[in-house]
């Protein structure tokens, strides 16, 4: 297992784009409760299955396994219902940190978020100038919630 400790921000402007190479992610969520997340993901030609435990602060237990691409595709098609997310993920190094910028499509089109993974809670991170409002604690912005209640339904932007 890994403990995933991350902070999440909205992205402002396009200052990040010139350094960025993107990959299409398609992912879906199976029906869980009590803070458990069960996600199938297709990233390029690879499939992944991920379980996340309940959040404590910015931390969450995370187990991720590579699985056959065909299995991941089938799970998206048969076990996730309409709870699907499509986005382009860009990986951007800034100082010692890797930022993952997600540009959403579909019903979350217009939403661009950046995540940074920390080694420990309260680690100091230098924020790139294209980082906007922090939304780490706003559960509406989890991908799992965005698959149920997409951004277009509640964003005032």
Tell which positions 47-86 bind a second copy, by CB under 8 A: 49, 51, 53, 61, 63, 65, 67, 70-71, 74-75, 78-79, 81
Provide CB contacts within 8 A for 90, sequence distance 6+: 16, 17, 20, 21, 22, 100, 101, 102, 103
Q: Is 29 a catalytic residue?
A: yes
Residue 146: which H helix or E strand, with range?
helix 143-148
Q: Where are the alpha helices (DSSP H) in 64-114?
A: 69-78
Q: Is 121 in the site for a second copy (CB under 8 A)?
A: no
Catalytic residue among 29, 63, 65, 90: 29
Nearer to a second copy, 23 or 32 (CB): 32
Provide CB contacts within 8 A for 41, sequence distance 6+: 25, 26, 27, 47, 48, 49, 50, 72
Nearer to a second copy, 36 or 98 (CB): 36
Tell which positions 9-48 bind a second copy, by CB under 8 A: 30-36, 38
Q: Which residues are catalytic?
A: 29
> Where along the sequence are the contacts to a second copy (CB under 8 A)?
1, 30-36, 38, 49, 51, 53, 61, 63, 65, 67, 70-71, 74-75, 78-79, 81
């Amino acid at each position: 297992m890994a403990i995933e400790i991350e902070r999440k921000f909205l992205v402002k402007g396009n200052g990040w784009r010139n350094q960025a190479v993107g990959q299409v992610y398609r992912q879906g969520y199976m029906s869980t409760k009590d803070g458990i997340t069960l996600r199938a993901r297709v990233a390029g030609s690879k499939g992944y299955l991920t379980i996340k435990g309940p959040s404590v602060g910015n931390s969450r237990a995370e187990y991720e396994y590579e699985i056959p691409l065909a299995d991941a595709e089938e799970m998206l098609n048969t076990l996730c219902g309409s709870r699907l997310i499509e986005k382009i993920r860009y990986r951007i190094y800034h100082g010692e940190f890797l930022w993952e910028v997600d540009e959403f499509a579909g019903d979350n089109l217009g939403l661009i978020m950046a995540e940074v993974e920390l080694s420990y809670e309260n680690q100091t991170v230098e924020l790139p100038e294209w980082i906007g409002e922090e939304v780490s604690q706003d559960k509406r912005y989890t991908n799992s919630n965005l698959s149920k209640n997409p951004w277009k339904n509640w964003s005032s932007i």
